[in-house]
């Protein structure tokens, strides 16, 4: 009787230990998966390759702890909302260009989403997410928070996954356009040329 009781207790301890190990392994796998999907992508760009206040030098994209996408855009010089306004012509902007379709080719296709920073006034930035459909003007589908860092050389743009359709992965590039100018020489792209990087959300 005592021997049977000891054997049953031993089996119970082994089952509990096995269950604990399985739970710990599951937690480890889930944690590793989250670590992979939230990996930050950092891209740099040459200083002085375009003139004006919107000369991009570095961009990064990551999934923030609250689930939103966080894009940090750094510029060669300090930036103010006023510097993005134009006395004539289009205003300045800095946008994350996003291709969500699985087979999208950034070299030959327009992005289907834009997450942009523009200026609302001399003292206030404006952020938003826009849907691009064919040749029509981009349609604003969601807001985006904008924060200027203490150095005034970087802008942090945050927007939700739902605003871009919650894709498992997407291609992206960043583009800034000098206010009042539509020439190619006024546009700074990161990465340079018609290239894009892949960001995985799941």
CA distance 184 to 191: 15
pLDDT digit string, tens, across residues 96-106: 999 999 889 99
* Residue 184 token pair: 């190619």
Q: What is the pLDDT of residues 11-70, one digit of tens each?
A: 554 444 344 434 333 333 333 333 344 689 999 999 988 887 899 999 999 999 999 999
The DSSP call for residue 9 is: H
pLDDT reported for residue 138: 93
pTM, entire model: 0.79
Residue 182 clears pLDDT 80, i.e. is over it: no
> Is residue 3 scored above 90 in pLDDT?
no
């Amino acid at each position: 009787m005592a021997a049977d009781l000891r054997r049953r207790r031993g089996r119970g301890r082994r089952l509990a230990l096995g269950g604990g190990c399985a739970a710990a392994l599951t937690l480890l796998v889930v944690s590793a998966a989250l670590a992979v999907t939230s990996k930050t992508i950092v891209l740099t760009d040459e200083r002085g390759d375009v003139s004006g206040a919107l000369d991009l030098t570095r961009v990064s994209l990551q999934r923030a702890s609250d689930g939103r996408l966080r894009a940090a855009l750094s510029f060669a010089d300090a930036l103010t909302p006023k510097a993005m306004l134009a006395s004539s012509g289009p205003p300045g902007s800095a946008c994350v260009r996003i291709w969500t379709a699985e087979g999208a080719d950034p070299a030959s296709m327009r992005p289907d989403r834009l997450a942009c920073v523009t200026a609302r006034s001399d003292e206030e930035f404006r952020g938003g997410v826009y849907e691009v459909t064919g040749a029509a003007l981009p349609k604003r589908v969601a807001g985006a928070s904008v924060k200027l860092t203490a150095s005034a050389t970087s802008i942090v743009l945050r927007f939700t996954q739902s605003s871009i359709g919650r894709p498992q992965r997407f291609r992206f590039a960043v583009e800034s356009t000098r206010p009042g100018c539509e020439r190619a020489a006024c546009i700074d792209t990161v990465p340079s040329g018609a290239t894009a990087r892949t960001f995985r959300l799941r």
